[in-house]
Amino acid sequence: MTVLVAVPDTPEGAAALAAAADEARLVGTDLVVMNLSLTPFDAARLPDGVGTTVVERSGRGDRDPAEAVLDEIRDRDIGLLVIGLKRRTPVGKALLGSVSQRLLLESPVPVLAVKAG
């Protein structure tokens, strides 16, 4: 069971990366880091003590990040998805979709959702 973490370049992404590394260490498995940013992932952010593979978001610049993560789940033996959440108002949730919300609803594997501290 591999742990996949969706990492945008935000505080929520950093929190998700830390939680995913902890989960991977706990169960003794590898970590796949899905970079949701359109800039290359900074290797200095990689956690120590866990085998890590970085997957850059490929395709068109306007490719749906949620679809990129779901494709990665389908293409690999993923047992857990870790995502970061932002605090959103009820109106914001109703009017605007979010990558996190879509992943929570559509992921075929369990999802660990974390908030930035």
What is the band of 21 on the pLDDT scale with cuts at 50, 70, 90? very high
User: Can you give the pLDDT at residue 43?
Assistant: 87
What distance in Å separates the CA atoms of residue 46 and residue 30, rounded to the nearest whole number? 12
User: Can you give the pLDDT at residue 60?
Assistant: 67
**CATH no. for residue 64?**
3.40.50.620
Beta bridge pairs of residue 55: 34
pLDDT single digits (tens) 51-101: 999 998 766 666 789 999 999 999 999 999 999 988 766 665 554 558 888
Token pair recorded at residue 112: 């660990």
What distance in Å separates the CA atoms of residue 49 and residue 51, rounded to the nearest whole number? 7
Give the chain's domain count: 1
Per the structure, the complete domain to which residue 30 belongs is given by 2-115
Exposure class string for 64-99: b at 16+ Cβ within 10 A, else e? ebbebbbbbbeeeebebbbbbbeeeeeeeeeeeeeb
pLDDT single digits (tens) 27-52: 999 999 999 988 899 888 888 889 99
User: Can you give the pLDDT at residue 13?
Assistant: 92
